[in-house]
Amino acid sequence: MKGLIRAQVSAAAIQANLQRIRAQAPGRRVLAVIKANAYGHGLLPVARCLAGADALAVARLEEALLLRAAGITAPVVLLEGVFTNEEMAEAVAGRLDFVVHDEEQLRLLEQAPGGAPDSTVWMKIDTGMNRLGFAEQVADAALQRLEAASNRIAGIRLMTHFACADDRASRMTREQLQRFDRLVASRSYERSLANSAAVLSEPDSLGDWVRPGIALYGVSPFAGELGRDLGLQPAMRLTSTVITVRDVPAGETVGYAGAWRSARDSRIAIVAAGYGDGLPWSLPSGATVIIGGRPLPLAGRVSMDMIAVDVTGTLVATGDEVVLWGPEQPVELQARAAGTIPYELLCAVSQRVPLRVS
């Protein structure tokens, strides 16, 4: 693959992670979440390597239409639904399934000329997230309206979303689970509650459909845990290249703001990776990358196109490969060092980084 920096994505890892999720949720169906360019792993190639999932989910209509244009015929769910009559018409024409999460979306469906005969509608009920979904008090009335339109659609499913499933100590997940069970007790539609964290930690939440995202990419949804501790395989390996090595005498500074000062005569490798590629500016001096199998510390600030690495005492040379994250350098640890979550780092891998899924 060409390019100084590149993201190599393992299809085998993604498929193994799907199997890991299936083992955790036996007999349940899997709605594989591939929003945000498959968490930065490449929408179309990841969709193709997830042919073993039961359905695919994205957040935006544009992503769903890209899947259809690429000839992907699997069920595709719009997790936030549609927002205008035009979008509804495109969703219907694309045979997309979609969430209905508020009154306005219910109206768009009721008013759609010819209905949405090939679309399964996922009615979203809010059980405490307070983001999307019908509130407890109006959920039943909304569901009755949807049932009144049931001859205009292919089917109904019920869903909710957890706010704190990534916190094993939180009681919120069980509370949301009980609220959801109570609200839908009188109905027999298929149900979906669990994101990756709930699949891996709350067996009572599995329902009929699980909705894993981050776990498919081999990354832990839980702070302080790594994908590999959960039996997952990190799918992305983000690497770049040393573009020069220089000597920096003791006492001199490196990079913008002189944010790092050499305590001794040092050798500094300059690596072609910066925030223009999606490496966060907040990644501090001391955070490590791997060169020649060794973790070596950043020296100074992340620039747009470069980082500096303290390689004093090593044989690191121009042209050497640098692992920014991957199986040997967990993205969870880079995220923690940068004060963010691995989701953000993966989604931020920028367009100029060549991506290969194989």
Ligand X SMILES: *Cc1c(COP(=O)(O)O)cnc(C)c1O
Residues in the chain: 358
For residue 196, state whether it binds ligand X (rule: CB under 6 A).
yes
35 belongs to the catalytic site: yes
What would the x/- binding string for ligand X be over residues 255 to 294, using CB under 6 A? Answer: ----------------------------------------
* C-alpha dist (Å) from residue 10 to 7, 16, 54, 73, 131: 10, 10, 20, 23, 33
Q: Of 25 and 33, which CB lies nearer to ligand X in the complex structure?
A: 33
Q: How many Cβ atoms are within 10 Å of 143's Cβ, its own excluded?
A: 22
For residue 13, state whether it binds ligand X (rule: CB under 6 A).
no
Q: Tell me which DSSP letter residue 77 carries.
A: E
For every residue of 156-194, DSSP letters joined together read: EEEE---SSTT-TT-SHHHHHHHHHHHHHTT--SEEE--
CB of 142 to ligand X, least distance (A): 17
* Nearest-CB residue for ligand X: 213
CB of 197 to ligand X, least distance (A): 6
For residue 326, state whether it binds ligand X (rule: CB under 6 A).
no
Q: Of 78 and 106, which CB lies nearer to ligand X in the complex structure?
A: 78
For residue 177, state whether it binds ligand X (rule: CB under 6 A).
no
Question: Residue 173 burial by CB count (10 A; 0-12/13-18/19+): exposed, middle or buried?
Answer: buried
CB of 344 to ligand X, least distance (A): 12
What would the x/- binding string for ligand X be over residues 204 to 243, using CB under 6 A? Answer: -------xxxxx-----x----------------------
Q: Which of these ranges, 139-147, 148-156, 189-197, 245-253, lies near ligand X under the rule CB under 6 A?
A: 189-197
Would you put residue 36 in left (φ > 0), alpha (ψ -120 to 50) or beta? left
For residue 201, state whether it binds ligand X (rule: CB under 6 A).
no
Contact present, 282 and 336 (Cβ < 8 Å): no
**# of chain residues touching ligand X (CB under 6 A):** 13
For residue 28, state whether it binds ligand X (rule: CB under 6 A).
no
Closest among 27, 156, 29 to 97, alpha carbons compared: 156
As a 3-state breakdown, the chain gives helix, strand, coil percent values, each rounded to 5, of 35, 25, 40
Q: Which residues, numbered 64-123, are part of the site for ligand X (CB under 6 A)?
A: 79
Q: Which of these ranges, 8-16, 110-118, 194-202, 234-242, lies near ligand X under the rule CB under 6 A?
A: 194-202
Structure tokens at 314: 């090593």
Three state DSSP letters for 332-348 = HHHHHHHCCCHHHHHHH
What would the x/- binding string for ligand X be over residues 34 to 53, using CB under 6 A? Answer: -x------------------
Distance CA 59, CA 196 (A): 16
CB of 222 to ligand X, least distance (A): 10
Q: Which residues, numbered 144-163, are part of the site for ligand X (CB under 6 A)?
A: 161
Please give the residue ranges that form the binding site for ligand X (CB under 6 A).
33, 35, 79, 161, 195-197, 211-215, 221
Would you please indicate which residues are annotated as catalytic (active-site) residues?
Answer: 35, 256
